[in-house]
Amino acid sequence: MSKFPDLKIIYKHYIVITCFIFSIYFFYLLIKFSNSGIDITDEGYYLNWISNPYDYKSSVSQFGFFYHPIFVTFNESIVNLRRINLLFNFIITYWLIYLLIKPLIKLQKINFFYHQTLLIGFSLFIFLSINIFTPNYNSLTLQGLIITCIGVLIIENSVKKFGFFLISLGGWMVFMGKPSSALILAIIVSVYLMTKKNSFYSIFLCSLIACILLLCSSIIIDGSPILFFERILMDMEHYKLFGAGYTVKDLSKSIITITAKPELQNTYALFLTIISMLLFFLFLFFLFFLNLKNYKYNYSFKIIFLSIVLVLFILIQFVNLHWLSIFERYQKLQIFSILLFSIFFVLNFFNFNLIKTLRALNLRLILLFLFLPYVYAFGSNVNLLKKSLEAGIFIYWQV
């Protein structure tokens, strides 16, 4: 009996184990590097606000009050605060990805280890948007949007009050992080719920739970809803005095302009980006789509080719080679490659029917996810299109 089929099995397991190990390795790096670096401008503001939120009598964003109990619980350690934030991001993203792909792979025969590799690969994508590890109003807004989506997916599968609670909880978290985003989210979620049965009941229940959470927050923070409302109004006045926020002209320009100084003006960076992408997709082509006539040599070549790439990757990670410094700006793409690795693996080896998969997706969910990056960006005193990329995970998951 020929032993060639065993080589194909080895190749499959080799890819899955590689994806799994490197996914865990990247998560380890994130946890490890939480012990390094501090930005004395923005991060200094975040840490002061989290460590002593009650010292300030005006604030639009209440993220300091949200993260303060966590900060105190873990002995006021900045490192622990960062790590808890990273872990929380990963857990809720893992939960969301699980709910997203569960109906798409329920008919596929994927064992537990392969399934976890795919889930972890997708979940790591949440970290592409992180520039500062310390939690802040942006991280709280993003976390709230993810939890809102989890609630939406739960009520999509079966109408459960727990799903309504999660939608309300996520909306409350977004409000605590960025009230302007919470306003847009409330409108979008309301429109979404109107397309379902018992829409009035759904909107009323979500609004009621969110109001209860907000009422409790106002009492804990300021002792009364009136004082809490005055806190927000006072800080809005401060925004006007400092010239912060958008004018109508700034907002319109922000929507249609990506950036005042496009990175594409740097031809050297553009050249390296294109070369990196071409090399990466050439690697995927060889790995998944190149099939030699000789069955034995086909998988032998792929195993050797993958091993060479892994050796190069290890050299980049662990060997101090000066010429490799040009790739520092592309370190985030290494995590992106794990995601693509997982996607190609599933599509190639488990024969996903892409047409049926697209038909199975809910159009309402697709539209909701497309709007969420702009919900995240709305109210930021920066370019909206550029800011929305930080929450691009809601779009990437659909691609």
Residue 263's pLDDT is: 46
pLDDT tier for residue 131 given thresholds of 50, 70 and 90 = confident
Which residues, in sequence order, are CB contacts of 67 under 8 Å at separation 6+?
50, 81, 85, 135, 140
What are the percentages of helix, strand and coil residues in the chain, rounded to 5?
Answer: 80, 0, 20
Instruction: Supply 363's token pair.
Output: 């159009």
- What percentage of residues in the chain have a pLDDT greater than 90? 24
Tokens of 180: 């302007």
| Structural tokens at position 237 | 């006045």
d(CA 257, CA 263): 13
Give me the phi and psi of 38, to 5 degrees please: -155, 140
CA 172 – CA 89 distance, rounded (Å): 17
Mean pLDDT of the chain: 76
Tell me, what's the pLDDT at 59?
Answer: 86
pLDDT, tens digit, 9 for 90 and up, residues 34-50: 888 787 888 888 999 89
Q: Give the C-alpha distances (Å, rounded to integers) separating 23 from 124, 198, 339.
A: 7, 42, 9
Give residue 323's identity as a one-letter amino acid code. W
* DSSP assigned state of 130: -
The lowest-confidence range among 164-173, 215-224, 319-328, 379-388 is 319-328
Is the per-residue pLDDT at 341 higher than 80? Answer: no
Is 70 exceeded by the pLDDT of residue 237? yes
Residue 204: pLDDT over 60: yes
- 200-207 long-range Cβ contacts below 8 angstroms, 24+ apart: 202/155, 202/164, 205/161, 205/164, 205/168, 206/164, 206/167, 206/168, 206/171, 207/168
* Nearest alpha carbon to residue 86 among 70, 69, 65, 106: 70
Give which of 272, 16, 295, 61 is closest to 177, Cα–Cα: 61
pLDDT at 354: 46
And the tokens for 284? 């995927």
Q: Is the pLDDT of residue 250 over 70?
A: no
| % of the chain beyond a pLDDT of 70 | 68
> CA 84 to CA 173: how far, in whole Å?
17
Under DSSP, is residue 36 helix (H, G, I), strand (E, B) or coil? coil
Orientation angle between helical segments 78-105 and 4-33, nearest 10 degrees: 150
Give the model confidence (pLDDT) of 96-121 as tens digits: 988 887 776 665 566 777 778 778 87
85 and 139 Cβ atoms separated by less than 8 Å: yes
- Length, in residues, of the chain: 399
